[in-house]
Structure 1
Amino acid sequence: METRTLAIERRKRFGGLLGVGEKLSVVQGWRAVRSVVAQEVAGEDYIPIPYLLDASAYKIGHIFVRYVREVGCLGMIRTPFFKILGPIGNFVNVSESNASWNEKSLPAIKSTADHVHFKVRVHQGNGKSSEEIIFKGEDFWYLEMPEGMITKNNLRIDRSSHQDLASVASFGLIRNVLVARAFEIEINSKRSSRLLRVANEPHTLLFKYEICNMNVDGRVINSRTPGRSSRRLTWQSLQSRDDAERLPLTELHLTD
């Protein structure tokens, strides 16, 4: 059985070490390597999942909304976030939408041959202060929605199905994903090492989405590809700070 592995190596030249700290943080490790994974494996159009252990939440056909959270004792600072809600089928107005959007499991087209792997190594420093992160994706492939799955004038969202859909003007829809049957992140410093591996089922590592604009009734009136500034927004983690550093993967609870 033939296998192919895409190998990428990058040395961080500026800005100090990779930031994993003495505890060899998985969150920081993924943050340091994820942009290299996206750009070198799939291209600039793909976005890495924001938190590695939230991989179960970023499936094809899942939707998310942009919201603003007020922080500070007087709520003086307003910070925009993206919040993942779940499968679009949970929020569709069935009687007012095209039948293709009423299925709980949406159709997806698979591309890329089987048994293709990638390995990305990012390192920084030398001697006693060196750090290294190795990320592997095993048996990865792409999934995409068929071109015929058009949102404009074919889809109406039930705004009452979730409180975060009640007043927003738009939502994001994940249409393309890169999934891997197994992935692992290895974090090495001069003093210690840490390895986290997930191989129970395929999980999303990278994705693309479209922004769907709605009218007051929830009908999608147009859609667009997001600009780069939109992609830099912070995403809400599904985990507590401690849970973000250890298995199991976080489950997406489909509640308001």
Structure 2
Amino acid sequence: MNPPYSEKAGFSEQPRMSDSDAPSYTPFRTTFACLSLHQSDRIRMMQFPPADVSAIRSVIQRHWNKGLQTERVYGASYEFKLSGYPWYGQGSDAITSRVVVREIFAYLFSRGWILHLSTDVSRSKYDKDSLIFRKQQTPPPPSEFIAITFNQGDRMRLIGAPNALLADVRTLLKEMNLLQAEDWKDRKLEAWEYKMYGWPWHATGEETMTTRLLLLKLLETLESRGWSVYASIDQSTGTEDRSETDSWYVVKERGWVEGSAVFHR
């Protein structure tokens, strides 16, 4: 009779489970989709259902005042070509293009499409991020979004932010001796701009650490009001000698109460 313990293997041999004995289960399957920004004026959507593609068309038409120029099937994706040049991000277009992306995030979020990652998979000089979304069967609670951009060498804009948050950021910049001036950049689009001393987005030497400290303090300020950064993406076309800063898209659960937990997605 064979011994129950294998001296060679060092453990007891267990009987193998037959296929008929294995428990039944439903295979787990995750659905992913991609939204990517191209050239100076294109949005491409891949693996989103037709209803969501149609809804994004409406979002673009509602928030991009220059409208859509054309649309088509492009390879394995569906492409929208916007009139004008939203990804050059100059002048008022710099704000409007962030509103468009903010509202795209808000719609997809409400449908359970949660950003999984933003990634740069192109070596092109003028590339932008690809945004990978994961389908969540139960959509998250109703939420609101704002955008934060880092402009020129010394400006920061909050787009769509409530007055209480604007006041908190003002206090932060004053405490760090950074606030030089502030005013509406675009009142209609609710874009408030802070101009700072120095060149935080072109910093060198020890000033590079002041810039990083500002970002940490900004995150703490956002969280104190229930906001968390949902996405940080490169959506602007740079130049041969200059790259562009990311834009932040920040989310807060509607009805959040001060002092309650802030959920990061």
What TM-score comes out, normalization by structure 1 length?
0.25
Structure with higher helix content: 2
What TM-score comes out, normalization by structure 2 length?
0.24
